Amino acid sequence: MHSGNGPHEDMDRRAIGCFDQALADVGLADDNRLRKVLHDYFAWATTTTLSRYYRSADDVPDGLPIQRWSWDGPVRGMGSDAI
């Protein structure tokens, strides 16, 4: 959905801000641990995976897996962005 739209760092920052505000709007910002892990995942996905294929949708590999995330961050060896 986001591929082929060119670099969009400003939109990424705004999306992360909207996500954080949504967490606050539904009361999840009161749980610091949950808020942090959700923020970290969304910010990571927005600035890595979603930004990686900005030139063309044709660059996105078929069957691209979604990185698994835990309370401690990315799960090693899982998904396209395995670390």
Cα angle 25, 27, 28; round to 5: 110
- Evaluate whether residue 1 is within a structural domain: no
For residue 19, what are the domain limits? 9-74
In single-letter form, the type of residue at position 43 comes to A
20: in domain: yes
Tell me the pLDDT tens digit for each residue of 2-50. Answer: 677 778 889 899 999 999 999 999 998 889 999 999 999 999 988 887 7
Looking at the domain assignment, is residue 82 inside a domain? no
Question: How many domains does one find in the chain?
Answer: 1
Q: What is the pLDDT of residue 79?
A: 52
**Per-residue model confidence as pLDDT tens digits over 52-78:** 888 888 888 888 888 888 999 999 875
Rounded alpha-carbon distances, angstroms, from residue 34 to 23, 26, 27, 40: 10, 13, 11, 10
Is residue 80 situated within a structural domain?
Answer: no
